[in-house]
């Protein structure tokens, strides 16, 4: 009987936990200005667009760094590469809090934080592949997504509450110190990989990055998913970035903006907990993606037109549950259909397309009406969801692909 050369280690949950924590804290830094856009614009003496730029900077900086960072993750190792990002995040997070009312220093510090983001986002499936068996990988990526969503919820809800008792610079310093602590925990407790693989031979082998990149870009279903993910992230980033501006013309307050953003995240959290394990169990990906995109259409329409709080908040929750929570399933789907492309490479390409969605964030702002309504941009988002659903219909599950 052949010797068993693979096993699952309990320490994988420690590695996952500290990785989730740094992903959580960088999301707080990303979104913390969105629910207080008007207040922040007055505090720094700038326009709403310049406050929106603080969130959009994360997407802009990600674009040129994504592929080099993916190469670093696959070449020098997950632990070393992500540690660089964690240290950058912690350092510039604290510096942004120390910048006071100087918008230019805040923007410069935000660029430094943004440079850390691809090191974190592009390693999601790499962590799952190094430490988890095939049947747990979508679940692991789902938990990382869960951490990201919780971070966004904290930034959305806590910032409008703290602004009532302290200046923005103090809030940012608190966030920066928490981020630095999370970076320290990651550097101290994470490990590159277990002593033996977590899966049978053949499930962990991956090609070199350049060969894997060429292989991935030849797969039609991968391109279809990239297009759909671009739309999903464009809508999520657009609503998150302009959350206060979207509801302000209808008489809603910054605290309502925080509630809307939080409920969108809560929906995503609930979906990320429930859906990926089911997807792992039945090993189906495409049906979850299709259902999520179709159900997101009425949710976006609700956010665009709802004048009553309960309907607005219900729409936000539904958007999170349907659209945001299927992201980990989609990432695992991409990792499976592009095998043997390295996980860092496939995830990096996905995240790259997601961050290029900053174009849609700009388009939403450009399409707003004279009275400040974002309805035209949200209607465009609904149409793009329909188009994306058609693309997903053409995608095949990994099992289907392997039998052809």
Per-residue pLDDT tens over the stretch 275-299: 878 888 887 888 899 999 999 999 9
What pLDDT does residue 245 have?
87
Q: Is residue 1 part of a domain?
A: no
Whether pLDDT at 311 is above 80: yes
Place 344 in a pLDDT band, splitting at 50, 70 and 90.
low
What is the total count of domains within the chain?
1
Q: Are 32 and 175 in contact (CB under 8 A)?
A: yes
What pLDDT does residue 207 have?
41
Mean pLDDT of 173-202: 87
Q: Are 286 and 221 in contact (CB under 8 A)?
A: no
Among the listed residues 306, 332, 295, the one whose alpha carbon sits nearest the alpha carbon of residue 247: 306
Q: Is residue 333 part of a domain?
A: yes
Residues 6+ apart with CB under 8 A from 160: 35, 36, 254, 255, 257, 258
Place 103 in a pLDDT band, splitting at 50, 70 and 90.
very high
Q: Is residue 201 part of a domain?
A: no
Mean pLDDT of 197-219: 61
Query: Which residue has better confidence, 19 or 68?
Result: 19
Residue matched to tokens 């660029």: 111
Q: Are 6 and 199 in contact (CB under 8 A)?
A: yes
Q: Is residue 229 part of a domain?
A: yes
Domain containing 337 equals: 14-191+209-402
Among the listed residues 306, 296, 288, the one whose alpha carbon sits nearest the alpha carbon of residue 238: 296
Q: Distances from the Cα of 232 to the Cαs of 31, 246, 328, in angstroms?
A: 17, 18, 12
Render 303-321 in DSSP notation, one character per residue.
HHH--SHHHHHHHHHHHII
Residues 6+ apart with CB under 8 A from 158: none
Query: Which residue has better confidence, 149 or 380?
Result: 380
Place 212 in a pLDDT band, splitting at 50, 70 and 90.
low
Q: Is residue 324 part of a domain?
A: yes
CB atoms near residue 180 (< 10 Å): 18
> Among the ranges 97-111, 311-325, 327-341, 389-403, which has the highest mean pLDDT value?
97-111
Mean pLDDT of 27-32: 92
Q: How far apart are CA 331 and CA 389, in angstroms?
A: 17
Whether pLDDT at 403 is above 70: no
Mean pLDDT of 148-161: 87
Whether pLDDT at 11 is above 70: yes
Q: Is residue 9 part of a domain?
A: no
Place 401 in a pLDDT band, splitting at 50, 70 and 90.
very low
Q: Distances from the Cα of 181 to the Cαs of 106, 187, 381, 383, in angstroms?
A: 20, 10, 38, 42
Place 204 in a pLDDT band, splitting at 50, 70 and 90.
low
Judged by average pLDDT, the poorest of 189-203, 236-250, 257-271, 359-373 is 189-203
What pLDDT does residue 210 have?
56
Whether pLDDT at 135 is above 90: no
Q: How far apart are CA 18 and CA 6, in angstroms?
A: 24
Whether pLDDT at 211 is above 80: no
Q: How far apart are CA 332 and CA 280, in angstroms?
A: 10
Query: Which residue has better confidence, 281 or 247?
Result: 247
Q: How far apart are CA 245 and CA 237, in angstroms?
A: 13
Judged by average pLDDT, the poorest of 2-6, 263-267, 346-350, 352-356 is 2-6
DSSP assignment, residue 370? T
Q: Is residue 7 part of a domain?
A: no
Judged by average pLDDT, the poorest of 6-20, 78-92, 200-214, 219-233 is 200-214
Place 1 in a pLDDT band, splitting at 50, 70 and 90.
very low
Mean pLDDT of 86-112: 96
Q: Is residue 346 part of a domain?
A: yes
Per-residue pLDDT tens over the stretch 168-185: 999 999 999 999 999 999
Q: Are 69 and 348 in contact (CB under 8 A)?
A: yes
CB atoms near residue 211 (< 10 Å): 14
Mean pLDDT of 123-141: 80
Mean pLDDT of 230-246: 87
Helices (H), 163-308: 168-189, 209-216, 220-241, 243-247, 254-282, 286-305
Compute the C-alpha angle 259/262/263, nearest 5°: 85
> Among the ranges 110-114, 237-241, 335-339, 340-344, which has the highest mean pLDDT value?
110-114
Residues in the chain: 404
Encoded tokens for 205: 């082998």
Judged by average pLDDT, the poorest of 180-184, 216-220, 249-253 is 216-220
What integer best gives the mean pLDDT of the chain?
Answer: 85
What pLDDT does residue 187 have?
96
Q: Distances from the Cα of 229 to the Cαs of 3, 234, 272, 384, 403, in angstroms?
A: 42, 8, 16, 11, 26
CA 77, chain centre distance (Å): 22
Residues 6+ apart with CB under 8 A from 197: 5, 6, 204
Place 34 in a pLDDT band, splitting at 50, 70 and 90.
confident
CATH number at residue 380: 1.20.1250.20
């Amino acid at each position: 009987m052949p010797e068993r050369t693979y096993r699952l280690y309990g320490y994988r949950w420690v590695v996952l936990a500290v990785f989730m924590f740094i992903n959580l804290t960088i999301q707080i830094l990303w979104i913390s200005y969105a629910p207080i856009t008007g207040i922040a614009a007055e505090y720094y003496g700038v326009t709403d667009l310049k406050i929106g730029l603080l969130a959009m900077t994360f997407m802009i900086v990600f674009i040129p760094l994504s592929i080099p960072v993916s190469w670093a993750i696959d070449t020098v190792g997950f632990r070393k590469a992500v540690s660089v990002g964690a240290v950058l995040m912690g350092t510039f997070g604290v510096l942004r809090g120390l910048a006071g009312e100087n918008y230019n220093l805040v923007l410069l510090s935000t660029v430094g934080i943004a440079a850390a983001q691809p090191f974190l986002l592009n390693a999601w499936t790499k962590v799952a592949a190094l430490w988890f068996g095939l049947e747990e990988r979508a679940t692991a990526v789902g938990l990382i997504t869960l951490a990201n969503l919780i971070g966004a919820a904290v930034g959305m809800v806590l910032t409008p509450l703290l602004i009532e008792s302290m200046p923005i610079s103090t809030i940012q310093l608190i966030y920066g110190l928490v981020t630095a602590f999370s970076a320290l925990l990651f550097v101290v407790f994470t490990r590159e990989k277990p002593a033996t693989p977590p899966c049978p031979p053949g499930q962990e082998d991956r090609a070199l990055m350049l060969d894997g990149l060429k292989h991935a870009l030849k797969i039609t279903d991968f391109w279809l998913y990239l297009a759909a993910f671009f739309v999903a992230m464009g809508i999520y980033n657009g609503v998150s970035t302009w959350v206060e501006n979207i509801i302000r013309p209808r008489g809603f307050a910054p605290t309502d903006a925080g509630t809307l953003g939080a409920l969108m995240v809560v929906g995503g959290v609930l979906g990320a907990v429930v859906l990926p394990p089911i997807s792992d169990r039945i090993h189906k990906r495409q049906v979850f993606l299709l259902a999520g995109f179709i159900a997101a259409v009425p949710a976006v329409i609700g956010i665009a037109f709802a004048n009553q709080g309960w309907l607005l908040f219900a729409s936000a929750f539904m958007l999170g549950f349907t659209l945001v929570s299927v992201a980990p399933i989609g990432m695992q789907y991409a990792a499976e259909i592009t095998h043997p492309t390295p996980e860092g490479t496939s995830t990096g390409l996905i995240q790259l397309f997601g961050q290029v969605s900053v174009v849609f964030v700009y388009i939403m702002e450009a399409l707003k009406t004279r009275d400040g309504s974002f309805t035209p941009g949200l209607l465009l988002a609904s149409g793009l969801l329909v188009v994306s659903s058609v693309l997903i219909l053409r995608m095949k599950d990994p099992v289907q692909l392997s039998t052809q």
